Chain A
Amino acid sequence: MGILDSIPHVTAEMPHRPWPRAVVTEAGWQAAIERLVEGGLTLLGFWGEPTAVHMAMLDGVSAEIAVVTYECGAGTFPSVASRHPPALRLERTIHDLFGLVPAVADDLRPWLDHYAWGKPYPLSGRNASRDVRPYQFLPAEGEALHQVAVGPVHAGIIEPGHFRFTANGEHVVRLEQWLGYTHKGIESLMQGASLEAAAKLANRTSGDSAVAYAFAFACAVESALQIEVPRQATLLRALMAELERLANHLGDIGAICNDASFALMHAQTGILRERCLRAANVAFGHRLMMDVIVPGGVTRGIAPDGVSALRALLAELRKVFPRLIELYDNTASLQDRTVTTGIVKAEYARQFGAGGYVGRASGRDFDARRAIAYAPYDSLSFEVPVLQAGDVNARVWIRIREVEQSVELIEQILHQLGPGGLETALPPRIGRGACEGMALTETFRGDVLVWLRLDGELRVERCHLRDASWFQWPLLETAIEGNIIADFPLCNKSFNCSYSGADL
């Protein structure tokens, strides 16, 4: 049974590919929320427009996806978050950007809006006012409790955000995050942008996932325009995506150990990460491989000495990495810090649809590369590691196993690469109607969703990018509960959520 079969709806007039979009009335909207609450569907995305809200949902069993749209005639929509908590930050964001009011919301504090933009509801297209109130953190009451405020400027070289800890002695009673510091207004910059400019923005939504974002953006455009990309181009895309995954996982494994004061691992994986970036630079001319993937294909092939650089990288990884795994596994003082620390309950991972190592370390067996099987992953063989423990240690092991899988994937791709075109020409800019597309790709930290509408002249009319972190950040709040404050950096690093990606 399809997702929309159980939800009263009418199909949207505009073509929406590759998954359907339907317009629903309040009854349909409530039915969709009901399916989310009972766990039959997972919330994939929730975003706004000046007079409508959209929800993307996934059926975890059939991997089917659908979007439902509620037209906000009176500037309001039935609150999703009041019944389904994973929607909360997205719902507050919709209110911040578009001024639409969820009815009836339990929590309508601003999320991205810190009252610094000079205008409220910047994407609403109208002038409105908003009361400025000091941000109220949620209360925690008890005799011996005290608060520790951290950020937005942190001690390390990381992105800005505010963490408010309430602690009893060393133990964390409650952590509340307040983000939005890196909000750049990407959705507004997307409006009216050419495909070229929009792709650049997608690359820089979260720089560590530049390739995966560019990949998702390109796929969404190609779905909307119904064009096929040459096979060689899809192989190169996956090659870059796996290189990006390798570099990030290697960096993370070392950084997590470093936060447990085990600097040796950090130094060793730092070397491997640098080798990945250098190989990427040789093969694709940019260490982070930004702006190589564009709608229609890729802008360049692999450099003549790129293949040998990549083969040398794989050989080095195969030689050195097993020793580092052994080092991680046999260092009791390190295990003492990571095992049973920062546990994410399987139930929360499922409810929030947490992607990447956060979900997979807590039993959620989902990987967009396998579930959606977008090209070229439909023709590559790989395993998706899943663990149940949900602690920092499990998140490290998921990364370790994924490094091994990425090495194998790159090997397969190098084997399949051959001569072939790199780009499919986009259709002419005139004589077209508007169209919509959506795509999901797997970044190193989980699935990202890109939804967009193109106008008749191939400009972006609307584009929403949903980072994996939206459904992971809230779980970090649950994971730290009962742990000591000194273990927060360790837990935080094991999540390594994106600030920029979620702040937009």
Chain B
Amino acid sequence: MRKTLLESLTHGSLTEPAPAPDVSALAELATKVNRAAQARLGRSLAIREVDAGSCNGCELEIHALSNAFYDIERFGLRFVASPRHADVLLVTGPVTKNMRQALERTYNATPSPKWVVAVGGCAIDGGIFRGSYACVGGVSETVPVDLHINGCPPSPTDLLKGLLALLEHVSRKG
């Protein structure tokens, strides 16, 4: 164990420079995030991930945000275990009808001010599952969405760009 630990001290960091915040995400947020909320939160957001029926592809890439290359916590973004501790809900999937109530309850359990980020093609409009008897189709049909991050699944870099845009917007003092 000592060797592995020492090596990680002596070798350079794997963590990569931050990507620029996504421009289109900034534009989407500009109209949605209110200024009072911005002043209260500063540069720190707690994120609760909610899988609303995804294929689990998006979860794999959201997980990757915590690895040494992306190291999401350096930006003040961290994943929390309960919606009651969260500022942001990161929602994936075409919102299956079997998950709709759980998503609503999770949203209601999250204290305001709060933001919802819909992740992946399914979360935008149901994607390839649109039209199924078992899917609502699109997160915004169940809870209000502040930001969409597209992709199937979006890469960790895409996710980071979107979340950085959210962070930048929230922390800009009004």
User: Which residues from chain A sit less than 8 Å from chain B, CB to CB?
Assistant: 112, 114, 116-119, 122, 152-153, 155-160, 180-186, 188-189, 197, 200-201, 204-208, 210, 251, 264, 267-268, 270-271, 273-274, 277, 287-288, 290, 323-324, 327, 330-331, 498-500
Q: Are the CB atoms of A182 and B131 closer together than 8 Å?
A: no
Q: Are the CB atoms of A251 and B63 closer together than 8 Å?
A: yes
Instruction: Please measure, in the bound complex, the distance between the C-alpha atom of A200 and the C-alpha atom of B122, giving whole angstroms.
Output: 13
| Inter-chain pairs besides A153-B83, A204-B152, 12 sampled, C-beta below 8 Å | A156-B81, A207-B56, A210-B57, A270-B68, A271-B69, A287-B155, A288-B60, A290-B152, A323-B3, A323-B4, A327-B1, A331-B1
Instruction: Please measure, in the bound complex, the distance between the C-alpha atom of A70 and the C-alpha atom of B68, giving whole angstroms.
Output: 54
Residues of A within 8 A of B53 (CB): 160, 181-184, 500
Q: Mark B99-136, 1 if CB is under 8 A from A, else 0.
A: 11110001000000000000000000000110111110
A485 to chain B: closest CB distance in Å?
16
Residues of A within 8 A of B52 (CB): 160
Instruction: Please measure, in the bound complex, the distance between the C-alpha atom of A184 and the C-alpha atom of B52, giving whole angstroms.
Output: 10
Q: How many A-B residue pairs have CB under 8 A?
A: 145
Residues of A within 8 A of B168 (CB): none
Instruction: Please measure, in the bound complex, the distance between the C-alpha atom of A152 and the C-alpha atom of B132, giving whole angstroms.
Output: 21
Q: Are the CB atoms of B60 and A185 closer together than 8 Å?
A: no
Residues of B within 8 A of A268 (CB): 4
Residues of B contacting A: mostly = mixed
B7 to chain A: closest CB distance in Å?
9
List the A residue with the shortest CB-CB distance to B94: A184
Q: Are the CB atoms of A208 and B132 closer together than 8 Å?
A: no
B91 to chain A: closest CB distance in Å?
11
20 A-B contact pairs sorted by A residue (CB < 8 Å)? A116-B98, A118-B97, A152-B102, A153-B102, A155-B82, A157-B51, A157-B59, A157-B62, A160-B51, A185-B134, A204-B57, A207-B55, A207-B56, A207-B60, A208-B57, A267-B67, A288-B153, A290-B57, A290-B152, A323-B4
Of the residues B50, B68, B93, B97, contact of A271 by C-beta under 8 Å? B68
Q: Are the CB atoms of B67 and A274 closer together than 8 Å?
A: yes
B19 to chain A: closest CB distance in Å?
15
Q: Mark B77-100, 1 if CB is under 8 A from A, else 0.
A: 001011100000000011011111
Pairs of residues from A and B, 3 with the lowest C-beta to C-beta distance, nearest first: A207-B57, A185-B132, A185-B134
Q: If A116-B97, A153-B102 touch, does A273 touch B67 (CB 8 Å cutoff)? A: yes
The yes or no answer to B61 lying at the interface (CB within 8 A) is yes
Q: Are the CB atoms of B5 and A183 closer together than 8 Å?
A: no
The yes or no answer to B26 lying at the interface (CB within 8 A) is no
Q: Are the CB atoms of B66 and A498 closer together than 8 Å?
A: no
Residues of A contacting B: mostly = loop
Q: Are the CB atoms of B66 and A189 closer together than 8 Å?
A: no
Q: Are the CB atoms of B102 and A207 closer together than 8 Å?
A: no
B73 to chain A: closest CB distance in Å?
12
Residues of B within 8 A of A324 (CB): 4
A235 to chain B: closest CB distance in Å?
25
Q: Are the CB atoms of B60 and A208 closer together than 8 Å?
A: yes
Of the residues B4, B5, B49, B128, contact of A189 by C-beta under 8 Å? B128
Residues of B within 8 A of A201 (CB): 128
B130-145 residues with Cβ-Cβ distance < 8 A to A are 131-135
Q: If A158-B51, A184-B53 touch, does A270 touch B66 (CB 8 Å cutoff)? A: yes
Instruction: Please measure, in the bound complex, the distance between the C-alpha atom of A98 and the C-alpha atom of B95, giving whole angstroms.
Output: 23
List the A residue with the shortest CB-CB distance to B58: A207
Q: Are the CB atoms of A181 and B98 closer together than 8 Å?
A: yes
Residues of B within 8 A of A207 (CB): 54-60, 153
Instruction: Please measure, in the bound complex, the distance between the C-alpha atom of A498 and the C-alpha atom of B59, giving whole angstroms.
Output: 12
Residues of A within 8 A of B152 (CB): 204, 290
B149 to chain A: closest CB distance in Å?
15
Residues of A within 8 A of B64 (CB): 270, 273-274, 277
Q: Are the CB atoms of B5 and A122 closer together than 8 Å?
A: no
Residues of A within 8 A of B101 (CB): 116
B152 to chain A: closest CB distance in Å?
7
The yes or no answer to B14 lying at the interface (CB within 8 A) is yes
B98 to chain A: closest CB distance in Å?
5
A495 to chain B: closest CB distance in Å?
14
Q: Are the CB atoms of A184 and B79 closer together than 8 Å?
A: no
List the B residue with the shortest CB-CB distance to A269: B67
Q: Are the CB atoms of B99 and A181 closer together than 8 Å?
A: yes
Residues of A within 8 A of B67 (CB): 267, 270-271, 273-274
B133 to chain A: closest CB distance in Å?
5
Residues of A within 8 A of B55 (CB): 204-207, 210, 500
